[in-house]
A = this chain, B = another copy of it.
Amino acid sequence: MGTSRRQKAESRRAIVDTAARLFRERGIDGVSVAEIMDGAGLTHGGFPRHFANKQELVGEALATALSAQGGEAGLAAFADAYLRPEHRDNPGAGCVYAALGPEASRGSAETRHLLTQTMERQIANFAQTAPGETEQQRRNAAIGGWSTMIGAMILARLSDSTDLSQEILSAARSYLDVEAAPSVKS
């Protein structure tokens, strides 16, 4: 089944994208290599042509998922897009920290390092527009506000009561002083 180099690159991208989605949907341990390859339209045997092992794919998939997160947005705009039912109901395209935070903290040193680097950048970015007199105050507001979003998303996904789940998103919005209500209620 000789395949061109362009197709190999496309296959690789499909594998990484599928993994980035499935890991967030079902957890890293909850997805097998074969399932990822299947989701990418391939069979399990092609895997070693792209990655030495699963851990290597985990690194690539998380890096891809993290780079897709809104890196430029200010705290308020980010929170407005974050605290929505669409985000809650679509973890596969959503926040890595809310979907995989605890599992990643038990993961490899490389994984933790990648997430730490991205955290630093995200906090520094939020601190630029966060309220506060001093840099330290702005960083505190950035960290506190971002933590609120992540915790609220986790609780909202956990709740089996749609009313409570919606209340959690709304409460976090008002707690963070995000003006607009979610466009879609559910």
Contacts and interface: CB of A to CB of B under 8 A. Distances in A.
Interface of A: 25-27, 29-30, 97-106, 109, 112-113, 115-116, 119-120, 139-152, 154-155, 157-161, 164, 167-168, 170-172, 174-176
* Centre residue among A101, A115, A164, A176 by max chain B CB count within 10 A: A101
22 contacts: A27-B29, A27-B102, A97-B151, A101-B157, A102-B102, A102-B154, A113-B160, A116-B160, A119-B158, A119-B159, A141-B175, A143-B172, A144-B148, A144-B152, A144-B176, A147-B147, A147-B152, A147-B172, A149-B151, A150-B150, A151-B151, A154-B154
B168 A147 contact: yes
A119 B165 CA distance: 11
A175 B161 CA distance: 29
Nearest to A145: B175
Given A144-B175, A151-B151, 20 more contacts: A26-B106, A27-B106, A30-B106, A97-B151, A98-B102, A100-B102, A101-B155, A101-B158, A113-B160, A116-B160, A141-B175, A142-B171, A143-B155, A143-B172, A144-B152, A144-B176, A147-B148, A147-B168, A148-B151, A150-B155
